[in-house]
Amino acid sequence: MDVKYINPFLNATVEVLKTMAFMEARAGKPYLKTNHSAPGDVSAIIGITGHINGSLSLTFSSSCIIKIVDNMLGENFQEINDDIKDAVGELTNMISGVARRRLSEIGFCFKIAIPTVVSGPGHQIKHMSKGPTIAIPFDTTAGSFTVEINFSR
Amino acid sequence: MSGSLDVKKKVLVVDDFSTMRKIVRNVLKQLGFEDIVEADNGANALAVLRNEKIDLVVTDWNMPQMDGLELLENIRANDMTKNLPVLMVTAEGMKESVIAAVKAGVDNYVVKPFTAETLSEKLEQVFKKRGI
């Protein structure tokens, strides 16, 4: 998978969390994902079609997403509930939207679908294409999350 | 923060994500607005507009059933709502999308992600332009 498809999603992730949740996110070492297991407590996945096809997912630890949504909404959540799940979907929507804009600026046009949110112990993420899935772990002061990018080539 | 704004006006916030509706509602409340109603897609927003007197619409673009652009086109096509101020808050920031929204008659445009200050500024620009 070409890095030019990956970097816009990573930069968008950092930008969206900084702007909407006042949170700094530091990217760790990317790795090739070889199973469907979600590395966290709640995930959202969104389909991407166009120049190439695939999907983007975000998976958050409970502590991380609760702090993010607390910051976004000025509330004090205690657990993953419908509000938190909705926010995970909206964050995924925003991140894919920013990445889509950046990719269009370098000539790659994509459409994005509406995200699906899944949660609970042992939940799985099933990406849209049979191509490779790259996982990028992120760390924040409130915990970790992982971005996965899957493209058909 | 609200200056000379007429904060008694009624605002309709349209987004399929409750998170974004809350964020917009929080900014409107910071500006002093209290009469705020919500809809989760364009079709439901049109139903609200048929039944209530709304003074400003803040809408997302990408929504199921009826998106924000189609909602805007419907608002402009109806004699009862054609002059209603509309602000779009959306992940759609590409040039062609902005042109389409301007052609359809949007008053102003905020691209996600945004700060509360940016949304406040855009809202105040709409209020000033429309004399709200």
Q: Where are the domains of chain A?
A: 3-151
Residues from chain A contacting residue B114 (CB–CB below 8 Å): 19-20
Residues from chain B contacting residue A56 (CB–CB below 8 Å): none
Inter-axis angle of helices B68-77 and B95-103, nearest 10: 20
Q: Where are the domains of chain B?
A: 11-130
Give residue-wise pLDDT tens across range A55-92: 999 999 999 999 999 999 999 999 999 999 999 999 99
Query: A35, A142 in Cβ contact below 8 A?
Result: no
Name which of A15, A87, A97 is nearest B19 (Cβ-Cβ).
A87
The rounded percent of chain A whose pLDDT value lies above 90 is 84
Query: A124, A38 in Cβ contact below 8 A?
Result: yes
| CB-CB under 8 Å, B115 with A19 | yes
Superfamily of domain B11-130: Response regulator (3.40.50.2300)
Q: Tell me how far CA of residue A50 lies from CA of A53, A107, A130, A142, B102, in angstroms.
A: 6, 11, 16, 35, 25
Give the CA angle between residues B45, B84, B100 to the nearest 5°. 80
What is the structure's pLDDT at B4? 63
Q: What is the per-residue burial (b if ≥16 Cβ within 10 Å, else e) of B22-60?
A: bbbbbbbeebebeebebbbbbebbbebbeeeebbbbbbb
Give residue-wise pLDDT tens across range B82-117: 999 999 998 877 778 888 999 999 999 999 999 999
The CATH code for residues A3-151 is 3.40.1550.10
What is the structure's pLDDT at B83? 95
Q: What is the mean pLDDT of chain A?
A: 94
User: Which of A102, A90, A97, A103 lies closest to A60, judged by CA?
Assistant: A90
Q: Please tell me which residue, A104 or B25, carries the higher pLDDT value.
A: B25
User: Which of A51, A28, A64, A58 lies closest to A108, judged by CA?
Assistant: A51
- Under DSSP, is residue B45 helix (H, G, I), strand (E, B) or coil? helix
What is the structure's pLDDT at A52? 84
Nearest-Cα distance to chain B for A34, in Å, is 31
Give residue-wise pLDDT tens across range A23-49: 999 999 999 999 999 999 999 999 999
Name which of B19, B94, B115 is nearest A90 (Cβ-Cβ).
B19
| CB-CB under 8 Å, B19 with A114 | no
B114 at A interface, C-beta within 8 A: yes
Q: Residue B112's closest chain A neighbor by CA?
A: A94
Q: What is the per-residue burial (b if ≥16 Cβ within 10 Å, else e) of A89-102?
A: bbbbbbbbbbbbbb
Confidence of residue A105 (pLDDT cuts 50, 70, 90): confident
Is the per-residue pLDDT at B3 higher than 90? no
Q: Tell me how far CA of residue A53 lies from CA of A127, A150, B7, B45, in angstroms.
A: 10, 8, 46, 33
Neighbours of B91 (CB within 10 A): 25
Nearest-Cα distance to chain B for A132, in Å, is 27
What is the structure's pLDDT at B132? 74
Interface size A-B, in CB pairs within 8 Å, comes to 56
Q: Which two tokens stand for residue B87?
A: 């602000």
Residues from chain B contacting residue A114 (CB–CB below 8 Å): 16, 62, 64
| CB-CB under 8 Å, B91 with A96 | yes
Dihedral angle over CA of A37, A38, A41, A43, nearest 10: -140
**C-alpha–C-alpha distance, residues A78 and A63, integer Å:** 9
- Under DSSP, is residue A96 helix (H, G, I), strand (E, B) or coil? helix
Name which of B23, B90, B111 is nearest A73 (Cβ-Cβ).
B23
Q: Residue A105's closest chain B neighbor by CA?
A: B94
Q: Tell me how far CA of residue B120 lies from CA of A8, A106, B3, B94, in angstroms.
A: 28, 31, 12, 22
B92 at A interface, C-beta within 8 A: yes
Give residue-wise pLDDT tens across range B39-73: 999 999 999 999 999 999 999 998 988 999 999 99
What is the structure's pLDDT at A5? 84
